[in-house]
Amino acid sequence: MLYPKVGVPIIGKDLLSRYMQYQYERCLTRAGASVWLLPYYMEPEQLETIITTCSGFLFPGGTDISPELYGQHPLVGGRKKDPARDNFELALLEAVTSAEKPFFCIGRGMQLLNVAFGGTLMQNMKTKQEYTHFDIWHISTATHPVELEPYSLLAEILHTDTVSVNTLHHQTVDSLGEGLLATADSPEGFAEALEIEGYPFSLAVQWRPEYMATRTLSQQKLFQAFVTACR
């Protein structure tokens, strides 16, 4: 298969969401994939078809996951949630992992993976930060260092044990989901990458490689490794 089909849940219809969507399409297409956008209103039977038709799945960045899904009440003044997206993405991720298909989770996508495996999130990480982790003004630039677990898939792809990344999150993994490995750390000890122990290809990063990939070749490598795993 020359152009593996990669399924990506849609982020939203507004202009900003479509701009975000485009970043993923660009990186995936450049890595040799054909992108299939997945709307939330799919029926369970359609989900089955998607799992067999797509070679891999990318779970993109976006709004906060509803805290009820990890057993917490939302903080007062928290951001707007999207329960329809939460439910669709959780059902999809569950189907993807039981079929052991390759997947790549980014930003919110990494938090989704943690929640899907029974982990929790820190709803507001601000008081524990040393670095700014929500830095929209430097979205295409590396702003904080990350240390990689030497035997992780991530270290294998990037051929290094430290990398500098951009950052656009105000939430972070709190307790780790069962069966997940935290494979990268920020200087404060926040998880910046996850993978499933013993899974064929599971890659999840907290930073946003799609905004760095044009200028920083190593970040495009993540998409390339993912698409190669889909072939």
Q: Which residues bind Mn ion (CB under 5 A)?
A: 133, 167
Judged by CB, which is closer to Mn ion: 85, or 133?
A: 133
Judged by CB, which is closer to Mn ion: 11, or 205?
A: 205
Judged by CB, which is closer to Mn ion: 153, or 173?
A: 173
Distance CA 94, CA 89 (A): 8
- Name the phi and psi angles at 194, rounded to 5: -135, 155
Q: How far is the CB of 172 from Mn ion (least distance, A)?
A: 8
Q: Which of 35, 1, 23, 83 is nearest to 207 (CA)?
A: 23
Distance CA 205, CA 212 (A): 13
H-type alpha helices, 13-145: 15-30, 44-53, 83-98, 108-116
Q: How far apart are the first and last CA of the chain?
A: 6
What pairs with residue 92 in β-bridges? Answer: none
Residues in Cβ contact with 91 at an 8 Å cutoff, skipping those fewer than 6 apart: 44, 47
Judged by CB, which is closer to Mn ion: 193, or 227?
A: 193
Report which secondary-structure segment, H or E, holds 182: strand 180-185
Judged by CB, which is closer to Mn ion: 180, or 191?
A: 191
∠ CA 149-132-159, nearest 5°, is 25
Q: How far is the CB of 20 from Mn ion (least distance, A)?
A: 17
Structure tokens at 149: 């677990």
Of all residues in the shown chain, the one whose CB is closest to Mn ion is 167
Q: How far is the CB of 149 from Mn ion (least distance, A)?
A: 16
Judged by CB, which is closer to Mn ion: 206, or 220?
A: 206
Q: How far is the CB of 66 from Mn ion (least distance, A)?
A: 22
Q: How far is the CB of 63 from Mn ion (least distance, A)?
A: 17
- Name the phi and psi angles at 79, rounded to 5: -75, 165
Q: How far is the CB of 45 from Mn ion (least distance, A)?
A: 38
